């Protein structure tokens, strides 16, 4: 990436709420953007997509995961049969290989656990029981 484009991207990203104000943090972000994006066009796409996706500053790990998920080129080649991995198990030199080498599959944003239908039914039954106990108590007090 060109220095001008990195500066522009970081400047545009500062629109995001809670964007870091510390100059070392901003310099580190510039370094991360330069490391992730292979050219100015990717820098623009990362910035465009991040401004659409994040209302609050997401942090470096989430930004990297977001790049690999939404921006990175995943075009495979004939050598690796488009999988990005060679027969010896090593990543290919093509864009898909770069994705395989660098994408952080470990990162997962926190998502609250989803209840199973049984758990939901149990929780509804429990709240109905509490409501019944409550009205029973109220009847005793009033009566």
Q: Among residues 66, 94, 98, 99, which is the contact residue for Zn ion, using CB under 5 A?
A: 94
Binding part of the chain for Zn ion, among 46-54, 62-70, 71-79, 126-134 by CB under 5 A, reads: 71-79
CA angle 7, 12, 15 (to 5 degrees): 135
Please work out the total of residues on this chain that contact Zn ion, with binding judged by CB under 5 A: 5
Nearer to Zn ion, 33 or 80 (CB): 80
Q: Is residue 86 a contact point for Zn ion (CB under 5 A)?
A: no
User: Strand locations in 10-125, DSSP E?
Assistant: none
What is the DSSP code string of 83-112? TTB-TTSPBPSSHHHHHHHH--TT-----P
Q: Is 85 helix (H, G, I), strand (E, B) or coil?
A: strand
Binding part of the chain for Zn ion, among 29-37, 66-74, 75-83, 113-121 by CB under 5 A, reads: 75-83
Q: Is 26 helix (H, G, I), strand (E, B) or coil?
A: helix
Binding part of the chain for Zn ion, among 2-10, 22-30, 33-41, 87-95 by CB under 5 A, reads: 87-95
Q: Among residues 9, 10, 63, 80, which is the contact residue for Zn ion, using CB under 5 A?
A: 80
- Host H or E run for residue 33: helix 23-36
Nearer to Zn ion, 72 or 80 (CB): 80
Q: Among residues 92, 98, 99, 100, which is the contact residue for Zn ion, using CB under 5 A?
A: 92
Query: What is the C-alpha separation between 62 and 85, in angstroms, rounded?
Result: 25
Q: Is residue 98 a contact point for Zn ion (CB under 5 A)?
A: no
Cβ atoms of residues 104 and 65 within 8 Å: yes
Residues near Zn ion, by CB under 5 A: 77, 79-80, 92, 94
């Amino acid at each position: 990436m060109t220095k001008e484009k990195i500066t522009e991207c970081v400047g545009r990203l500062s629109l995001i709420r809670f964007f870091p104000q510390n100059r070392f943090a901003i310099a580190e972000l510039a370094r991360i953007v330069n490391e992730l994006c292979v050219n100015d066009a990717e820098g623009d796409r990362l910035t465009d997509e991040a401004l659409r996706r994040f209302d609050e500053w997401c942090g470096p790990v989430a930004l990297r995961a977001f790049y690999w998920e939404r921006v990175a080129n995943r075009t495979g080649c004939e050598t690796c049969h488009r999988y990005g991995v060679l027969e010896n198990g090593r990543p290919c030199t093509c864009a898909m290989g770069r994705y395989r080498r660098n994408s952080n599959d470990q990162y997962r944003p926190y998502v609250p656990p989803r209840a199973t239908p049984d758990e939901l039914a149990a929780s509804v039954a429990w709240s109905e029981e509490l409501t019944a106990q409550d009205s029973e108590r109220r009847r005793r007090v009033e009566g």
